[in-house]
Structure 1
Amino acid sequence: MEKDPIVDDLQQQTYPEMDDESFVDRETAMILRLSLLPGLGPRTLTALLDRFDSAEGVFSAREAELASVHGVGAKMIHTIRTASHFVDVDSIVQWCKENEVSLLRPGQPGFPRPLDDLVDTPPVLFVRGKVLSQDEIAVAIVGTRHASVYGLKQAERFGYSLAKAGVTIISGMARGVDAAAHRGALNADGRTIAVLGSGLGQIYPPEHKGLADTIQQSGAVVSEYGPFAKPHAGMFPQRNRLIAAMGLATLVIEAPDRSGALITARLACEMNREVLAVPGPVSSRTSRGCNQLIRDGARLVQTVEDVLEELGPMFQAVEAEDGRTVRNASELILNELEREVLGAIEDTSTPIDQVIAKTNLPAHRVIATISVLEMRSLIRRLSGQYVSRI
Structure 2
Amino acid sequence: MATTPRFSWAKTRLRIEEFGSAEAVLRLKFSNELLDDGFDQEIRTASQAIDSYEAQGFHLSTIRGDGYPRQLRTVHDAPPVLWWQGFHDVGDEDSVAIVGTRAPDEWGKEFARSLARLLAIQGVPVVSGLARGIDGVAMRASLEAGGRTIGVIGAGLGVYYPPEHRDLQDEVANSLLLSQFAPGTAVSKPKFPMRNITMSGFASLTVIVQAGETSGTMHQAKAAVKHGRPVIITSQVLRSAGWARDLKREGYEVTVVDTPREAFTAVQEIHRSRRAAAGDWGFGTLLRA
* Matched position secondary structure for 2:176: strand
The residue aligned with 1:177 is: 134
The residue aligned with 1:273 is: 229
C-alpha distance in 2, partners of 1:143/1:134? Answer: 24
Match of 2:198 among 238, 242, 265: 242
CA offset at residue 37 of structure 1? Answer: 2.1
Structure 2 residues without counterparts, runs of 5 or longer: 33-37, 283-289
Deviates more, 1:176-185 or 1:290-299: 290-299
CA contact (8 A) 1:118 1:245 kept: yes
C-alpha distance in 2, partners of 1:187/1:155? Answer: 13
The residue aligned with 1:73 is: none
Change (3 A) 1:316 1:230: farther
Deviates more, 1:303-312 or 1:128-137: 303-312
CA offset at residue 53 of structure 1? Answer: 2.1
Match of 1:52 among 9, 12, 19: 19
Letter in 2 for 1:309: E
Over aligned residue pairs, what C-alpha RMSD do you find? Answer: 2.9
Larger Rg: 1
Equivalent residue runs for 1:351-370 within 5 Å: none
Q: Is 2:97 aligned against 1:140? A: yes
* Matched position secondary structure for 1:133: coil
**How high is the sequence identity, in percent, across the aligned residues?**
29
CA contact (8 A) 1:198 1:235 kept: yes
C-alpha distance in 2, partners of 1:291/1:238? Answer: 20
The residue aligned with 1:306 is: 266
Structure 1 residues without counterparts, runs of 5 or longer: 1-33, 66-80, 320-390
CA offset at residue 106 of structure 1? Answer: 3.1
CA contact (8 A) 1:253 1:278 kept: yes
Bigger relative contact order (CA 8 A; separation at least 6) = 2
* Matched position secondary structure for 1:231: coil
* Matched position secondary structure for 1:38: coil
Equivalent residue runs for 1:149-164 within 5 Å: 149-164=106-121
1:128-176 CA distance string (max 9 Å, x none): 0112111111111111111112111111111111121221111111110
Equivalent residue runs for 1:243-258 within 5 Å: 243-258=199-214
CA contact (8 A) 2:103 2:133 kept: yes
The residue aligned with 2:287 is: none
The residue aligned with 1:40 is: 7
The residue aligned with 2:154 is: 197
The residue aligned with 2:76 is: 119
Aligned length: 267
CA contact (8 A) 2:238 2:245 kept: no
